[in-house]
Amino acid sequence: QVQLAESGGGLVQAGGSLRLSCAASGRTFSNLLMGWFRQVPGKEREFVACIDSSVGHTYYADSVKGRFTISRDNAKITVYLQMNSLKPEDTAVYYCAVDGKYYTYTYYDQRRYGYWGQGTQVTVSS
């Protein structure tokens, strides 16, 4: 049974920073994507960033490029999301996700991912 434990959300002022963490357990996570999505009430869950475990390629949504950085520690099976220069529009519940190897879907499509965390709230005040 795969388990994802997220932490690091909270309330921050615009321009501030937060770091999210997601620790995975329960199986081998080699050669898999790990990523972050976010969702606000009434909207679809949207891709934020992901990273693969083999060569460390990273991918970002245009809305966060240059402000957010995704990284992973393969030894700890943990993925991080460093969020800088936060904006009120970044307010959302952030979800950690692990590749389900549904290769029909691209890395930015939530249907690609087979395992999800419980979500952590990030609130950015103006």
* Ordered per-residue pLDDT tens for the chain, 126 residues: 789 999 999 999 999 999 999 999 887 666 689 999 999 999 999 999 999 877 889 999 999 999 999 999 888 889 999 999 999 999 999 999 998 888 889 999 999 999 999 999 999 999
Residues whose CB is less than 8 angstroms from the CB of residue 2 and which lie 6 or more positions away in sequence, other chains included: 24, 25, 26, 27, 98, 114, 115
Q: Average pLDDT over the chain, rounded to whole?
A: 93
- Kindly report the number of other CB atoms within 10 A of residue 24's CB atom: 21
pLDDT at 31: 67
How far apart, in whole angstroms, are the C-alpha atoms of residue 101 and residue 43? Answer: 25
Residues 91, 5, 84, 123: what is their CA dihedral angle, to the nearest 10 degrees? 20
pLDDT at 71: 95
pLDDT at 2: 81
List, in sequence order, every residue forming a beta bridge with 18; answer none if it has no partner.
83
Q: Which of 50, 3, 37 is nearest to 23 (CA)?
A: 3
